[in-house]
Amino acid sequence: MATCEVCGNEYDKAMEITTAGVTHVFDSFECAIHRLAPRCENCGCTIIGHGHEADGAMFCCAHCAGSSGVTSLSDRA
């Protein structure tokens, strides 16, 4: 049994995810996303897909990047 570091649930099928050399334990993808997924620098939403990165900042979409002054990104080509 392992304990989820987000919700505290003890679960026999917990998963370990290692990122940047640190191992985390979660009982669900929901908890893993809550703890590890980046947040949009503009609106704060959780970025579950690829997102957009510019000048070291993460954005959920080109619109949010543009709202933060980044003009080099687009959602459509």
Percent of the chain with pLDDT over 90: 87
Does residue 31 share a domain with residue 10?
yes
Look up the pTM and report it. 0.80
Range of the domain at 63: 38-77
Does the structure show a pLDDT above 90 at 8? yes
Beta carbons within 8 Å of 20's beta carbon, 6+ residues apart: none
Residue 28 · residue 4 · CB < 8 Å: yes
Does residue 53 share a domain with residue 23?
no
Does residue 42 share a domain with residue 77?
yes
Does the structure show a pLDDT above 80 at 76? no
Does residue 54 share a domain with residue 30?
no
